[in-house]
């Protein structure tokens, strides 16, 4: 093999290896289907502790149209939650960001734009997280938690989070309301994953989902509250869940 061919072959192997490192954690971190609570060192989390608590979490806001409705429903039901905000939407609804905090809920980062980390470079992933944190900092305390869009936690995602001192978190139960035939199905899916330490994924905006997604959540929340009460589980913020 010539020196040129050896160099090309080495470069090709390095590219494949880097791609493998980039994508491998996206397979490993599918913890919602296993009993694991967190990766060693806090590299990614799917569940909290074993106390009689769960964390309801909402993605894709703030949305001036639908997030206030979710806040009202949570208040009526006596539930606390954590809202993962898209940085590019924060400036469109700063009053909603403040309303989330004033209601006693927690805020996390959902990145700046709702894009797939699979198809983005490590540099892009870090820049996107930085933009999100900067946007949130204009209106709220710096978040502790980071949930990448679509739950795609690649190696670049986890390294970027560690560099910026935020904790990656996914979920152990979800409503999948964007494909659910009705709110009762959302409630059933969430109930199937409710257990001490559960982290539940729901949505407070239709911005990245089909129209009516949040309407399903609003209708499902009373049933979820009933299930929580029946099982003796309290709904708390993520930071309280892992305290």
Report the percent of the chain where pLDDT is more than 70: 86
Query: In sequence order, what are the residues at sequence separation of 6 or more whose Cβ sits closer than 8 angstroms to the Cβ of residue 53?
Result: 196, 197, 233, 234, 235, 236, 240, 241
- Number of domains making up the chain: 1
Strands 81-85 vs 234-235: parallel, antiparallel or unpaired: unpaired
Per residue in 156-211, pLDDT (tens digit) is 999 999 999 999 999 999 999 999 999 999 999 999 999 999 999 999 999 998 89
Burial class from Cβ neighbours inside 10 Å (0-12, 13-18, 19+) for residue 81 reads buried
Residue 86 — φ and ψ, nearest 5°?
-85, 125
The whole-angstrom separation of Cα 111 and Cα 109 is 5
Show Cβ contacts of residue 221 under 8 Å, excluding neighbours closer than 6 positions: 70, 73, 74, 77, 79
Return the CATH number at 205: 3.20.20.370
Active site residues: 59, 203
Whether residue 82 contacts residue 57, with contact meaning beta carbons closer than 8 Å, is answered with yes
Q: Give the domain extent around 214.
A: 3-241
pLDDT digits (tens, 9 = 90+) for 21-40: 566 666 555 566 678 888 88
pTM above 0.95?
no
Torsions phi, psi of 167, nearest 5?
A: -100, 120
Q: What is the pLDDT of residue 51?
A: 86
């Amino acid at each position: 093999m010539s020196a040129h061919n050896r160099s090309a072959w080495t470069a090709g192997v390095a590219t494949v290896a880097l791609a493998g490192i980039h994508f491998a954690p996206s397979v490993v971190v599918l913890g919602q289907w296993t009993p694991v609570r967190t990766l060693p060192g806090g590299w990614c989390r799917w569940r909290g502790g074993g106390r009689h608590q769960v964390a309801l979490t909402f993605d894709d806001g703030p949305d001036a149209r639908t997030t206030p409705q979710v806040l009202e429903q949570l208040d009526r039901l006596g539930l606390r939650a954590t809202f993962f905000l898209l940085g590019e939407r924060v400036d469109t609804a700063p009053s909603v960001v403040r309303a989330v905090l004033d209601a006693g809920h927690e805020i996390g980062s959902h990145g700046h734009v709702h894009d797939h980390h699979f198809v983005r470079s490590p540099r892009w992933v870090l820049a996107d997280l930085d933009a999100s944190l900067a946007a949130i900092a204009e209106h709220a305390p710096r978040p502790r938690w980071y949930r990448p869009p679509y739950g795609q936690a690649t190696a670049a995602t986890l390294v970027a989070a560690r560099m910026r001192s935020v904790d990656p978190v996914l979920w152990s139960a979800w409503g999948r309301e964007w494909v659910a035939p009705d709110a009762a199905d959302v409630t059933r899916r969430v109930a199937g994953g409710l257990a001490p330490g559960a982290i539940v994924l729901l949505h407070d905006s239709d911005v990245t989902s089909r129209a009516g997604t949040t309407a399903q959540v609003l209708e499902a929340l009373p049933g979820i509250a009933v299930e929580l009460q029946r099982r003796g589980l309290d709904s708390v913020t993520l930071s309280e869940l892992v305290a």
